[in-house]
Amino acid sequence: MTTIMQGVTYVAAILAAVVLFATESTAAGAPQEAAGAALALGIAIIPYCISSTMQRADLITHLRDRA
């Protein structure tokens, strides 16, 4: 499951880059640019946080099994 989430994280990062580029090239003002940047950050950060949490949980389980 962790490997799947890593893939989702990579895809989300690419999608966030596309959203950021599209926003920067079509925005009519600073508020629209800020909203697009916030959206791109949300697209990238949320899957990363989930993936990171799953990796930490796997590591904790692995370390507990070794003890």
- pLDDT of 9-65, one tens digit each? 999 999 999 999 999 999 999 999 999 999 999 999 999 999 999 999 999 999 999
Residue 67 has pLDDT above 80, yes or no: no
Domain count, the chain: 1
| Domain housing 19 | 2-66
Q: CB within 8 A of 17, min separation 6: which ones?
A: 40
pLDDT at 1: 83
This prediction has a pTM of: 0.85
Assess contact for 28 and 59: CB atoms under 8 A. no
Assess contact for 35 and 11: CB atoms under 8 A. no
